[in-house]
């Protein structure tokens, strides 16, 4: 029996009757088990659809999906009843159904994450959905959504083959071979979960074959096995910039990574990395949540871990709506968060405390407060000379007079490089605007690029320009003779 699919039909520009007819027409070609998978896929699609688009092939797509998932997870008596699918099959199906819907234009990820995802001026490659690291604060977790149960405790599920993904990257308008920084598996899973590791290496192998020299950022909460590190060290086309996370989180906060054994494995990872100086690595010390992992002992543990890597990127938590309740269910005390909901909560007092402990212990690692700074410090080390911040962070500080995001703890050479990034040439700016399809004129000033257009520059385009120029980028509205100046500040 075909379940209700009225919402799906309406969003796909079909009558409910026609969609039902098309689904029913193929039912007899499917086994009883595949029919159950199809029924579940229709339920997921009907509940998840959130965008309207002409999608006349939606029935065919769901039927092929039922066959694929049926073949991937053959029926097993102990896993299935006559009507229900196992949780494992259901989660795989959820991830693949939502991806299929996204490809048809019928589903938009609530966080805007895509398989080739422009973020902070980089392009992040995400062929997998689902993570089982078990972070209570995860803004992608099932608990944060209704009817989308593909993430927390979920089975990382491949939704796109890696070669297809890299083909898409090659065609992406914001991809500049040799320049655009790439990231792997961010905001959809962790690149070194056992189920994801092969995909991570497969992407790297394809990038290596293409011969692109774009830097590749990898952030992981997992430890790396010796053979993983040696394999990472074998790539020669591009540089790998590795962030290893350790935030001394208790088990209630991060299920998989807590405990001394896991920490010992991460320390072994750090020791092994020292064999390969061309593999850049830094410590990702995030999130730090007052009340959960900000005790003196926890800060000492995390900073000591970071000391061996030479740089720690500190940061707070992007709060999720029901965090306190989720924490309570896992036996955590109430997190001390801001009464006003902020993007990320990281009080000055906590920063001072961390810096105080760092100084008292006599540690020499550099403390920075932004991912772009961590990347910059790694690149400067690899280059053996300071390069400007990869997102023009300090250049923005100076151009706007805003509360500085540069923490000022870097070496004098690094501070100078970030304060005075090279002025871009007209040709470079013009070619980037053209590549991104931005119709605008511009002024290159000593401390900023001013882009003038009728349409406001999107955040994505502003970040693209800033990251590729390593220069502060502002927008002004162009309107006939009268120029209404508006500034867009990252």
Contact residues: ligand SF4, CB under 6 A: 368, 373, 376-377, 389, 393-394, 406-407, 410, 414-415, 418
Shortest Cβ 373–ligand SF4 spacing (Å) = 3
Q: Could you tell me how many residues make up the chain? A: 490
Interacting residues of 439 by C-beta distance below 8 A, sequence separation 6+: 433, 453
User: Measured from the CB atom, is 244 or 410 closer to ligand SF4?
Assistant: 410
Shortest Cβ 400–ligand SF4 spacing (Å) = 14
Shortest Cβ 90–ligand SF4 spacing (Å) = 44
Shortest Cβ 399–ligand SF4 spacing (Å) = 13
SS3 126: coil
Shortest Cβ 390–ligand SF4 spacing (Å) = 8
User: Measured from the CB atom, is 100 or 376 closer to ligand SF4?
Assistant: 376
Interacting residues of 80 by C-beta distance below 8 A, sequence separation 6+: 33, 36, 86, 89
CA distances from 426 to 61, 204, 421 (A): 47, 33, 15
Burial 378-407 (b: 16+ CB within 10 A, else e): bbbbbeeebbbbbbbbbbbbbbbeeeebbe
Burial of 99 (0-12, 13-18, 19+ CB in 10 A): buried
SS3 338: coil
The DSSP output letter for 144 is: G
Shortest Cβ 363–ligand SF4 spacing (Å) = 16
User: Measured from the CB atom, is 97 or 414 closer to ligand SF4?
Assistant: 414
**Which residues face 116 on adjacent strands?**
125
Q: How many CA atoms lie within 13 A of 287 on its CB side?
A: 23
- Among 280, 291, 339, 338, CA closest to 313: 280
Give Cα 252 distance to the centre of its chain: 23
User: Measured from the CB atom, is 27 or 407 closer to ligand SF4?
Assistant: 407
The residue whose two tokens read 């189920």 is 195
User: Measured from the CB atom, is 406 or 490 closer to ligand SF4?
Assistant: 406
User: Measured from the CB atom, is 8 or 373 closer to ligand SF4?
Assistant: 373
SS3 60: helix
User: Measured from the CB atom, is 233 or 419 closer to ligand SF4?
Assistant: 419
User: Alpha helix (H) ranges present in 308-347?
Assistant: 323-329
- Among 396, 403, 406, 413, CA closest to 373: 406
The residue whose two tokens read 């994505």 is 460
User: Measured from the CB atom, is 82 or 348 closer to ligand SF4?
Assistant: 348
Shortest Cβ 420–ligand SF4 spacing (Å) = 11
What is the C-alpha to C-alpha distance for residues 108 and 212, in angstroms, rounded to an integer? 30
Shortest Cβ 348–ligand SF4 spacing (Å) = 16
User: Measured from the CB atom, is 394 or 468 closer to ligand SF4?
Assistant: 394
Shortest Cβ 472–ligand SF4 spacing (Å) = 12
């Amino acid at each position: 029996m075909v379940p209700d699919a009225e919402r799906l039909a309406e969003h796909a520009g079909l009558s409910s009757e026609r969609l039902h007819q098309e689904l029913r027409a193929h039912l007899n070609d499917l086994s009883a088990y595949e029919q159950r998978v199809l029924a579940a896929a229709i339920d997921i699609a009907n509940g998840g659809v959130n965008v309207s688009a002409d999608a006349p092939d939606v029935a065919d797509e769901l039927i092929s999906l039922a066959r694929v998932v049926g073949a991937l997870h053959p029926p097993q008596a102990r896993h299935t009843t006559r009507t229900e699918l196992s949780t494992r099959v259901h989660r795989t199906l959820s991830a693949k159904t939502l991806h299929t819907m996204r490809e048809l234009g019928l589903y938009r990820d609530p966080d805007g994450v895509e398989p080739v995802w422009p973020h902070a001026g980089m392009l992040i490659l995400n062929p997998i959905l689902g993570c089982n690291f078990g972070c209570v604060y995860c803004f992608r977790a099932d608990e944060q959504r209704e009817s989308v149960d593909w993430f927390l405790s979920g089975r990382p599920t491949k939704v796109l083959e890696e070669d297809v993904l890299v083909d898409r990257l090659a065609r992406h308008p914001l991809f500049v071979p040799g320049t655009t920084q790439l990231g792997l598996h961010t905001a959809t899973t962790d690149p070194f979960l056992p189920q994801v590791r092969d995909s991570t290496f497969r992407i790297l192998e394809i990038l290596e074959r293409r011969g692109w020299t774009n830097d590749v950022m990898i952030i992981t909460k997992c430890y790396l096995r010796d053979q993983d590190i040696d394999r990472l060290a074998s790539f020669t086309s591009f540089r790998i910039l590795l962030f290893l996370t350790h935030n001394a989180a208790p088990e209630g906060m991060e299920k998989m990574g807590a405990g001394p054994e896991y920490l010992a494995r991460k320390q072994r990872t750090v020791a092994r990395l020292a064999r390969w100086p061309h593999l850049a690595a830094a410590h990702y010390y995030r999130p730090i949540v007052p009340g959960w992992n900000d005790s003196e002992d926890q800060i000492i543990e995390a900073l000591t871990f970071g000391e061996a890597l030479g740089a720690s990127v500190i940061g707070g938590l992007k709060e999720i709506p029901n965090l306190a309740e989720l924490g309570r269910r896992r036996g955590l005390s109430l997190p001390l968060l801001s009464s006003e909901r902020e993007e990320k909560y990281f009080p000055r007092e906590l920063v001072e405390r961390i810096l105080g402990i760092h100084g008292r212990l006599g540690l020499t690692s550099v403390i920075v407060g932004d991912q772009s700074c961590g990347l910059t410090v790694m690149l400067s080390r690899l280059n053996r000379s300071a390069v400007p911040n990869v997102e023009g962070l300090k250049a923005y500080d100076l151009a706007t007079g805003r509360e500085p995001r540069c923490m000022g703890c870097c070496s004098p050479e690094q501070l100078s490089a970030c304060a005075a990034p090279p002025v871009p040439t007209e040709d470079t700016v013009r070619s980037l605007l053209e590549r991104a399809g931005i119709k605008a004129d511009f002024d290159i000033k000593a401390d900023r690029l001013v882009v003038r257009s009728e349409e406001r520059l999107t955040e994505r385009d502003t970040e693209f320009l800033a990251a590729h120029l390593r220069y502060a980028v502002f927008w002004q509205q162009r309107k006939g003779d009268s120029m209404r100046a508006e500034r867009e500040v990252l």
